Amino acid sequence: MVCSVCGRKLKSTTSIEAGCGPICYQKMYGISLKQHKVLKKVRNIQDKDSLCHGIPGQMDIKSYLQELNAK
């Protein structure tokens, strides 16, 4: 299996499950694969996209559009 971002061969089972390597995952989601694994256990998170909402200052598209329309 290869990284969906850069195309490098994935070696670890964690990377294979995530679909990308640790460096690409860090760039895309702002946390490491190890942090994701811990947070998934603690928060019982189902998908990696929901992790992005925990970043301070991060807003989802619905909130952005609502704020944009309010101006």
In the chain, the N- to C-terminal Cα span, in Å, equals 46
Question: What residue spans define the domains of the chain?
Answer: 13-70
CA gap 53, 40 in Å, rounded:
14
* Sign (positive or negative) of CA dihedral 8, 14, 18, 19: positive
pLDDT of residue 61: 79
Q: Is pLDDT above 60 for 2? A: yes
Q: Model's pTM, two decimal places? A: 0.55
Place of tokens 């998908």: 47
Q: Is pLDDT above 60 for 11? A: yes
pLDDT of residue 44: 61
Condensed to tens digits (0 to 9), the pLDDT of residues 34-57 reads 887 777 776 665 555 555 555 556
Cα–Cα distances in Å, from 29 out to 4, 18, 52, 55, 71? 14, 11, 6, 10, 29
Flag the least confident range among 29-33, 43-47, 55-59, 64-68: 43-47
